[in-house]
Amino acid sequence: MQTVAIKAQKRDAFGKKASKDIRKTGMVPAVVYSKEGIDHVVVSPKDLKPLIYTADFKLAEVEIDGASHRAIVKDIQFHPVSDKVMHIDFLKLIDGHPIQCNVPVVFKGVSPGVKTGGKLTQTLRRVNLKTVPEYLVDKIEGDISQMELGSSLRIRDLEVPENIQIMNTPSTPVALVEVPRAAKLNDGEGEDEAEGTEEGAREETAAAE
């Protein structure tokens, strides 16, 4: 699993004004939570970029006063206009203590439905999982090699490693293979023709009687 190094400096000032002053210096106010307590720190937005501006799930190695702590991102506040990070919360990982986090869903295999012209649409890009740090994974896989036209892949179909629990509803769709529009039109025309044939047959039968 990829890990991003974050150098953090402890801070003594708190509150909105203190956070605003921190941002003026180009740094980001942050909090590191753990069962031992809370560390209020400041971090560099440059260090955060490879951690948060990515579709991949990564761990943070937060260094505070020379000591390193494995952590995950718990929450991020972005500026509504500039999209800059305004505040970030980390959760320190402690072996044996369960955590919940969102990891991406990736697909393996080739869908037969896609081979025949269908379009694979991913309807859920991340799933919420619960586990302990020892068994944490950076992705959950879904096998699409049996997906035909019009079929769907759901949470319950994903390949979930042992000691990991997916918290999403099992019936939630993750992906589907859409039927091409041309195929839908052809099916519709075929139905119309069939209906016309049946109607013509009924008229011929009535005339014969």
Query: Domain-by-domain residue ranges, the chain?
Result: 3-93, 101-178, 181-209
Q: Is 201 helix (H, G, I), strand (E, B) or coil?
A: helix
Residue 209, pLDDT score: 40
- H or E element, residue 61: strand 59-64
Closest Cα partner for 102 from 81, 83, 74? Answer: 74
CATH of 101-178, one of 1.10.10.10, 2.40.40.20, 3.40.605.10, 2.170.120.20: 2.170.120.20
Instruction: From residue 109, give the alpha-carbon distance in Å to each of 37, 56, 71, 103, 135.
Output: 45, 20, 32, 20, 24
Instruction: Provide the pLDDT for residue 182.
Output: 65
- Domain 3-93 classification at class level: mainly beta
Pick out the chain residues at pLDDT < 70. 182-209
Eight-state DSSP code of residue 155: G
Instruction: Identify the CA nearest to 144 among candidates 102, 171, 115.
Output: 115
Q: pLDDT at position 180, please?
A: 84
What is the structure's pLDDT at 204? 40
Long-range contacts of 119-123 (CB under 8 A, 24+ apart): 119/177, 119/178, 119/180, 120/144, 120/147, 120/175, 120/176, 120/177, 120/178, 121/175, 121/176, 121/177, 121/178, 122/174, 122/175, 123/173, 123/174, 123/175, 123/176
Residue 50: the pLDDT is: 96
pLDDT value, residue 207? 40
